[in-house]
Structure 1
Amino acid sequence: MFCNQCEQTAKGIGCEKVGVCGKNEGVASLQDLLTHALQGLAIVAVAARKVGIVDPAVDHFTAEATFACLTNVDFDPARFETWIRKTVELRDSLRARAEGAGATISNDTPALSYRPAADLAGLEAQGVALNFIPSLDENEDLRSLKQITLYGLRGLAAYTDHAAILGQESDEVYAFLQQALADLTRNDLGLDELVALVLKCGEVNLKAMELLDAGNTGTYGHPVPTPVPLGHKAGKAILVSGHDLRDLQLLLEQTKDKGIFVYTHGEMLPCHAYPELKKHPHFYGHYGTAWQNQQKEFAEFPGAILFTTNCIQKPRESYQDNVFTTGLVGWPGLTHIGEDKDFTPVIERALALPGFPNDEDKGEVLTGFARNTVLGVADKVIEGVKSGAIKHFFLVGGCDGAKPGRNYYTEFVEQVPQDCIVLTLACGKFRFFDKKLGDIGGIPRLLDVGQCNDAYSAIQIAVALAGAFDCGVNDLPLSLILSWYEQKAVIILLTLLHLGIKDIRLGPTLPAFITPNVLNVLVDNFAIKPISATPQEDLQAILA
């Protein structure tokens, strides 16, 4: 195997025996094989669109299966076998219809003629034989750009799937996802064309995040500032991790009057701020921190645990019987809740477990500072800047992770001057989410914008402030200090680059799949740079 798609990749180069995420060589080879098969389906879907054939089932499946290859989503070989076989079935069926309507599709790309092996072992062998990453292109710089695109597409597919679950879809997004997957099989694209494809990926993701924002706020209302307890109530308990608001909603409805308190974990924390979710009286508080700490924290949780999207790690034997998955997330041997979303097994397990023996107060944190809230006090923010009370804004957020060096973000926030405001989002916030930073004129100095996809809210805040000050976003007293781990962070970075945002500081390390020449392109055009050795260096440079 060879995988270098996440920040924690082995030796900063690539995982070759087992992924640091926990996937083995078999799962890695199946992910490569699924991606290869999806490229064949994508080529056919592009040709079908040209003769007026658009299949919603193919669109949905392409997004779901691409998302399934994102880090920490699914580790179950049986599910990948199902997806691979379904991909080829959809490809062949769509091809017959497209060619019947006049489309011309040759077999000059291996992905178009690929046939699955008879069994799982054979599929794994096919995946190994692909040598997928090196096969993308012999030129390392072109291969680097193709990898950036591929990993961006996995993040784009995730947000597209999240939005579709809430009824928000766009043919433009599906069409691009398929076109880009198809383009990755081409060897006639040069540096400039692939750079344009990378930026187009970011542009389309802005649309996907807009759709997801519309789905979240249209269904559950705009987030409002909300204190969230970090302690617990005496009684039975269910912990919900991941990102999916609809799964949480359905679980809250199914646990009504059952004597079970529902808690959030990881990026589900911002869910407490949505009016339609917070109205449930048994939706109580937040437990634990970021995804990489789950093995220790989950071992101590006395209830059932539900994963709704990515961020799962191998469950320890001590608590694996308490863990359930739904949607695209999966782990071999765990009970998976299917499309009917009947959470009865989760509820029954929670009722069988002891729950918390008593109330415990561990303080609280604030969430719910999405664009509606922040722009609702824009006049105070603008006046604060004009009067000098607010000197600078820092967006410090992104993915958390276990690799050393991430204490930088904690120290950075601790050292931000008292006349500056910190916005944060995604699970990177758990490095400092419980810090008491006070306020400036009644505006909290630490504002939790939400989940990783709520980068859309942060973008809208920045655009609105730039309009108020009659300047460009890059002229605002605003700096982005980002941490990355997986492919949702990659696609958000591409969206920021599409918008022309410059001087982004990225860490804790730069992606292993970016070659020196490609990095030079990013530096020359966007002044992107790695975080410094210490927060003091970056703060001095920014505030000079």
Structure 2
Amino acid sequence: MGEMFCFQCEQTVGCSGCTGRAGVCGKEAETALLQDELTGALVALAEMVRQKPGVRTDAVDDLAMESLFATLTNVDFDDAEIKRLTECVHAEKSRIAETSGVVNAPDFLMRNLWDAQEDIRSLKSLILFGLRGVAAYAYHAAVLEYRDEAVSAFIYEGLAAIASDMGQDELLPLVLKVGEVNLACMEMLDKANTETFGTPSPTEVTMSVEPGPFIVVTGHDLHDLKLLLEQTQGSGVNVYTHGEILPAHAYPELKKYENLKGNFGTAWQNQRKEFDSLPAPILFTTNCLMPPAPSYSDRVYTTGVVAYPEMAHIGADKDFSALIEQAKELGGYAEEQTFAGVNGGTTLMTGFGHGAVLSVADTVVDAVKQGAISHFFLVGGCDGAKPGRNYYTDFVKQAPEDSIILTLACGKYRFNDLDLGTIGGLPRIMDMGQCNDAYSAIRVAVALAEAFECGVNDLPLTLVLSWYEQKAVCILLTLLHLGIKDIYLGPTLPAFVSPGVLSVLVDAFGIRPISTPEEDLAAICG
């Protein structure tokens, strides 16, 4: 077995890449190499599909989405499952070769990408990692039976480019096309979620846990949560959200379940501490799984694409009975427990998606025109463990009192329990939802630009983003595709963005690394 090379997330060793026997995320070298083999097989599959698009089926598209999703950071640590997916890709390649006359393409060797010229490697990595994020969102939409032909087709186009001999001038437009396609994908997922679960509305969520048995659900998948709520209804087992699934409380078709009680804990990187003595099982529905500590590993359940060796996995039948029975056996807390966020707050607000915000658009526009609101900040993205992320807490605390903070994804846990008051009846912190709900932020920004008859870049709006994994990459590419400039990005810049490519992005879009809250606010507010 060789040594791994992985630099797709923010917390790589030395901000350059994880090598040797294991990554910072806990992924072993063998697992990383197997994920490279899976990716190489997908690239070859894409080359074949591109030759004869008619060989595509929903099953092939689903396999490509699931396989890409499995290679995201903190999703699939199970070597056997990764091998199974690779075998499925090989089976599809053989089927296509036998039925279509297309030559069975050899698997692409990912080492050819990692050893490529620096700027070529950087651009292709942006495409690949962005595609992984797109695939995750497409997967969630497909679960709800929503698909977009352009999104599905582009997955193959992007993958095939990894093995191509394209130069920088050809690759850069394709990088931005990842952002364009991701916008369509996020729009599709927004439609899937709202048409299935209703339009989110502002909702206060408690961080207290009632006495009695309960289950904690983490990840992003709203459909899995709904199925669990159905199966626990009337059983005496309550359900609490964790991490990125907090916005579920704002959806009418989910909040109607009386056993959906509140939110437990904070962002994903705190799970080993928060789950340590938890008298309840935990269900992981998507990425954000860390290697479970022995103190709670017997209480971890995975489902969907998420997998970890020797952890209980709930298959496609979505039978949560074992999880429910363990919750009853553990019994939960004997008395109500009140927990707090990182700043001491005991309640959280969520549900400020585009439907809610645009319903009061006139109020927002009037507040700006009258000088009550001076600036909008979108402060959000991924959270993580690396030092320096307290920047986002301090930034929000120091933001002008007449500014509005829009937020989304798990980065909000740095400050979403703060009480910053209101402006004109509007809360100063508005949680727009999960990472994919960046679509809501885009909808709101476009609507404000139309109201003020200006471009988005002319609005009193600044994006201050944190990143960790590949969904953040595709969202950044979407913002660049839309031409949004002067984005502040941190806590560190991606290791896979070469100095040459960074120079292009800085020149074209004004991307800048965060410095200190004081310096950045002074530059923004003048």
User: TM-score range, shorter-chain basis?
Assistant: over 0.9
**CA RMSD, Structure 1 to Structure 2 (Å):** 1.1
Given candidates 230, 249, 270, the residue that maps to 1:272 is: 249
Kept in 2: contact 1:392–1:421 (CA 8 A): yes
Whether 1:449 aligns to 2:427 is no
CA contact (8 A) 1:225 1:368 kept: yes
Among residues 74, 77, 83, which one is paired with 1:75 in the alignment?
77
Is the CA contact 1:47–1:98 (under 8 Å) kept in the aligned structure 2? no
1:16 matched residue in structure 2: 19
User: Which residue number in structure 1 is paired with residue 350 of structure 2?
Assistant: 367
Give the alignment partner of residue 37 of structure 2, picking from 33, 38, 60. Answer: 33
Q: How many residues are aligned here?
A: 516
- Name the counterpart of 2:174: 197
Task: Report SS of the residue matched to 1:2.
Answer: strand
Q: Are the counterparts in 2 of residues 48 and 94 from structure 1 also a CA contact under 8 Å?
A: no
SS at match of 2:432: strand
1:84 match: 86
Cα distance in 2 for residues equivalent to 1:240 and 1:333: 19
Query: 1:367 touches 1:448 (CA, 8 Å); kept in 2?
Result: yes
Shift in Å, 1:361: 4.1
In structure 1, give the amino acid aligned to 2:15.
Answer: G
Query: What displacement does 1:98 show?
Result: 2.1
1:466 has 2:449 as partner: yes
Q: Which residue identity does 1:39 align to in structure 2?
A: V
Confirm or deny: 8 A CA contact 2:379 2:464 kept in the other structure: yes
State the distance in 2 between where 1:373 and 1:55 align: 37
Correspondence list, 1:477-496, <5 A: 477-496=460-479
Residue in structure 1 matched with residue 401 of structure 2 by the alignment: 418
1:144 aligned residue: 122
Pairwise CA distance, 1:342:
0.5
C-alpha separation in 2, matches of 1:159 and 1:263: 23
Pair 1:538 & 2:520 matched: yes
Give the CA deviation at 1:106.
Answer: 5.0
Letter in 1 for 2:6: C
Asked if 1:497 is matched to 2:480, the reply is yes
Matching of residues 100-119 of structure 1 within 5 Å: 105-106=102-103, 112-114=105-107
Q: Which amino acid counterpart does residue 136 of structure 2 have in structure 1? A: A
Distance (Å, rounded) in 1 between the aligned partners of 2:106 and 2:146: 33
The residue number in structure 2 matching 1:328 is 305
For residue 306 of structure 1, the aligned residue among 277, 280, 283 is 283
Determine the C-alpha separation between the residues in 2 that align with 1:427 and 1:183: 31
Which residue of the partner structure matches residue 366 of structure 2?
Answer: 383
Are positions 1:3 and 2:6 aligned together?
yes
2:264 to 284, 287, 301: 287
What SS does the corresponding residue of 1:423 show, helix, strand or coil?
strand
Q: Which runs of 5+ in 1 are unaligned?
A: 100-104, 115-126
Q: Which ranges in structure 2 are unaligned for 5 or more consecutive residues?
A: 340-345
Q: State the partner residue of 1:183.
A: 161
TM-superposed CA distance for 1:302, in Å, is: 1.1
Distance 1:360 1:238 in 2: 15
Residue 165 of structure 1: aligned partner: 143
1:253 to 226, 230, 233: 230
1:518 equivalent to 2:501? Answer yes
The Cα shift of 1:133 comes to 4.5
* 1:206-261 CA-partner distances (Å, limit 9, x unpaired): 01101100110000001001010011111101000000000000000000111111
Q: Is the contact made by 2:124 and 2:161 (CA closer than 8 Å) also made in structure 1?
A: no
What is the distance in 1 between the residues matched to 2:387 and 2:318?
38
Q: What is the Cα deviation at residue 97 of structure 1?
A: 2.0
8 Å contact 1:267–1:427 — kept in the other structure? yes
Structure 2 residue identity aligned to 1:245: L
Residue 398 (1) aligns with residue 393 (2) = no
The equivalences for 1:125-144 within 5 A come to: 130=109, 132-135=110-113, 138-144=116-122
Instruction: Tell me the TM-score normalized by structure 1.
Output: 0.93
The alpha-carbon distance between structure 1 residues 394 and 494, as it changes in their structure 2 partners (threshold 3 A), is: same
Residues 314 and 320 in structure 2, CA contact (< 8 A), matched pair in contact too: yes
Where do 4+ consecutive residues of structure 1 move more than 6 Å? none
Pairwise mapping of residues 206-217 of structure 1 onto structure 2 (< 5 A)? 206-217=183-194
Q: Retained in 1: the 8 A contact 2:9–2:469?
A: yes
Question: Percent identity of the aligned residues?
Answer: 57
Deviation sequence 1:319-350 (CA, Å, 0-9, x none): 11111000000110001000000011111111
Residues in 2 aligned to 1:514 and 1:370: alpha-carbon distance in whole angstroms: 31
* 1:121-157 CA distance string (max 9 Å, x none): xxxxxx9xx4x25535632101110011110010010
Amino acid at match of 1:501: I
Per-residue deviation at 1:43? 1.1
Q: Secondary structure at the match of 2:56?
A: coil
| SS of match in other structure, 1:299 | coil
CA deviation after TM superposition for structure 1 residue 354, in Å: 2.6
CA distance in 2, matches of 1:28, 1:54: 28
Instruction: Please give the alpha-carbon distance, in whole angstroms, between the structure 2 residues aligned to 1:372 and 1:113.
Output: 47
Give the counterpart of 2:198 among 221, 236, 240. Answer: 221
